Amino acid sequence: MVTGGTFGPAAAAPMATTPITDHCPYRVGTPPPVDESEVVAPGSPTPTPLPVPATSVGGEQLAHCGVVADPIAGPIPPALTSAGWLVADLDSGAVLAAKDPHGRYRPASTIKVLLALVVLDELDLDAVITPTVAEWSTEGDSCGMGPGGHYSNRDLLTGLLVVSGNDCANALARQLGGVEETLAKMNAKAQALGALDTRAASPSGLDAPGMSSSPYDLAVIFREAMTDTTFQSIVALESYRFPGYPKRPDVPGDKDHPAYLMQTSNHLLLEGYPGMIGGKTGYTDDARKTYVGVTERDGRRILVVEMFGLTVGTNSYWDQTKALFDYGFRSPANVEIGTLTTPVADSAATGTRTSTPTTTPTASPRTVTATGPDHPAGWSVRILIGLVAALVAVLLALLAIRLFAKR
């Protein structure tokens, strides 16, 4: 079973603490699927894994697959169930802490942010369409489109981001040239942003062969989207009145379907979490829970990404998200273990967006790499132990020389 952008059922899970990824199990490919959603159709080629860049995008510290953090920011929140996550300063692009930042995981509906970027580049948001049967009957989370309904692209984009409508995703893809053309455009946009772990295999984020992203890439993609004022306004919506559609002649006794008030799937926005600007949820059986969002406090905007996680018992995924946001705001302004790719406007006239990938190591001398699921062991500690051992060796050598001289 698959769903769309909501966080799905709080199913039992084999792990209640952060999975250990220090051995880089997902450097090349995503975790094994749990259903048949990624079975390749007969006669179709099996997608090969994306190449792993020779140099870690964003800085050499981000090549690590365990937790990477600066000790001056304090301890990492405990019992995070996501295999990969990232905390960054949205405005400066500084990565504050991460776990398996370039690990490859399925994005689920968070990939809709990438689709939104293509839509904002290419489609007239005031244009109106009527959906096809295939679109209004799409699997998973839905905006609630219906036969004979009329929807502007602004309605579709809003439904895509607010309730994660897969029907809206497919209707937008049709206008972009069809599914294959849309995927080509989404993947070209990811490459242009330096999101080299990302391959969209479905416009909606439903699992499909070859689907891949990473905590780092989702942060880069969402950061780019936040440069667009239309995107900002949509992800900040708690609700939106989505158009209805007329009664269906093929359904006896059917009545007109009026517009309805859809509510965001971003629970932090609904509950009034302090400073929440907006975010995007995702869930499929193979991807588990995914999330990307931004919160602002005292003029500082913190971005959080989580991938391949779960709610386990009373350990809510939303509580884990809050803990990561709080960690980000506690981090001193000079903390930086890497950098997100920087969006650069090509031309004020065209409004197009590109980016320059940052591959220069950016880690400060304090930066440490954690090797356990919850309790980091820093390089600074290792260096100190090594210096003490060396000093002891020198003292023993001097003592031996003095004893030999007395003989």
Q: Is 164 a catalytic residue?
A: yes
Question: Distance between CA 368 and CA 384 in Å, rounded?
Answer: 13
Residue 302 burial by CB count (10 A; 0-12/13-18/19+): exposed, middle or buried? buried
Intra-chain end-to-end CA distance of the chain, in Å:
82
Question: Distance between CA 110 and CA 312 in Å, rounded?
Answer: 21
Q: Is 406 a catalytic residue?
A: no
Active-site residue (options: 109, 265, 331, 355): 109
Q: Is 142 a catalytic residue?
A: no
Q: How is 22-83 classified by DSSP, letter by letter?
A: TT-TTSSSPPPPSSSTTPPPTTPPPPPPPPPPSS-TT-GGGG-SSEEE-GGG-PPPS----S
Contact 363, 336 (CB under 8 A): yes
Q: DSSP code of 291?
A: E
Active-site residue (options: 112, 185, 289, 322): 112
Active-site residue (options: 56, 164, 202, 214): 164
Question: Distance between CA 75 and CA 97 in Å, rounded?
Answer: 11
**DSSP three-state, residue 280:** strand
Catalytic residues: 109, 112, 164
